[in-house]
Structure 1
Amino acid sequence: MQAIKPSRQLPNCNLSQQTRASARLAGRRSVLPIFSKAAASRVGSSPKLPNGINSPYALKKYSNNVSKGRVLFHGVHHVAVLCKDLERSLDFYCGTLGLEVNPDRPDEKLPYRGAWLWIGPEMIHLMELPNPDPLSGRPTHGGRDRHFCIGVEEISPLEERLKEADVEYTRSMSGRPAIFFRDPDMNCLECVEMESWR
């Protein structure tokens, strides 16, 4: 098997030339099967899978997704975030971070209180529900904990907002222009500076 160059060459996943060309033009790989990252990372005859997984079973497991057909992913619609006190969370997400509530997503049909917040075209769904996870023992650096990442145009205005609100944050250990911080319920967020989205 030949090495796949990371530039614009897409892995051969039994897709038509037209589909591959469309994906190349769009600059996205969302039209590829789920295992495309694994396929794109193969070099020579020793397959390498995400997180150092390197076994024939794992490769077969990821590769079997082709027989199930491809899934067309558009992006992340929303991220659900558990909170203990909805008002406190709204104060943080809207007051400190500057996000806006989506009034078109009423929660009266749900058996718990919540709110939907815009992050670009995607949303955060705040849900006032008990958190089953322990809050103590979480890593200081959020990059080593479960988190979701939000793209921002510039990190510095966000850093100023966090400093003004006495919210602690850490910089990305990779050297990227990114920071990690926690909301009042210890949920971790990452914000990364991006010139353009996607």
Structure 2
Amino acid sequence: MSKPLLSAIHHVALICSDYPRSKAFYTQTLGLRVVREVYREARGSWKCDLEVSPGVQLELFSFPNPPPRPSRPEAQGLRHLAFAVPDVDAVVGVLQQRGVACEAVRIDEYTGRRFTFFADPDGLPIELYESDAAVAV
């Protein structure tokens, strides 16, 4: 087998229905750091780069009147975002204190790892996946 062509995920891009609400959710509720934020006049669109971890970013975009994303029932395309955390219970506790509803913690039947889901302001499913490789919160 040949060497993989890809080495890492650099960023994931999200289009928000309400840019200020989503920016507040990802920065204040989830604690992501703003790397840069620009208004793109020609597109009537904001772009905000958020640091998830060194070298990995989440990009938030605003566009005038974006169509809604079907999440339920699950549709073809991006299924969800998953973030590695060292302790699912600890992160769920913080999220619940910040008003975020989380599903019950489950066990991945193939890896034995614990995980749960919650939704961003647009209903995008976000997974917390317990991983030894995650940095402590």
**TM-score (normalised: structure 2):** 0.75
The answer to whether structure 1 residue 101 and structure 2 residue 38 are counterparts is no
Identify the structure with the greater helix proportion: 1
The answer on whether the counterparts of 1:149 and 1:189 sit within 8 Å (CA) in structure 2 is yes
Partner Cα separation in structure 1 for residue 80 and residue 42 of structure 2: 25
Structure 1 runs of 4+ aligned residues shifted over 6 Å read none
Q: Which has the larger radius of gyration?
A: 1
Deviation, structure 1 residue 152: 1.7
Aligned residues: 123
Change (3 A) 1:176 1:128: same
The percent of aligned pairs where both chains have the same amino acid is 30
Q: What is the aligned partner in structure 1 of residue 132 from structure 2?
A: 195
The answer on whether the counterparts of 1:83 and 1:89 sit within 8 Å (CA) in structure 2 is yes
Which of 132, 150, 162 aligns to 2:95? It is: 162
Q: What is the aligned partner in structure 1 of residue 49 from structure 2?
A: 116
The answer on whether the counterparts of 2:107 and 2:114 sit within 8 Å (CA) in structure 1 is no
Change (3 A) 1:172 1:131: farther
Residue type at the aligned position of 2:7: H
**TM-score (normalised: structure 1):** 0.54
Q: For residue 150 of structure 1, give the secondary structure of its aligned residue in structure 2.
A: strand
The answer to whether structure 1 residue 80 and structure 2 residue 13 are counterparts is yes
Deviation, structure 1 residue 102: 0.8
The answer to whether structure 1 residue 133 and structure 2 residue 46 are counterparts is no
Higher relative contact order (CA 8 A, sep 6+): 2
Deviation, structure 1 residue 118: 0.7
Q: 5+ unaligned residues in a row in structure 2: which ranges?
A: none
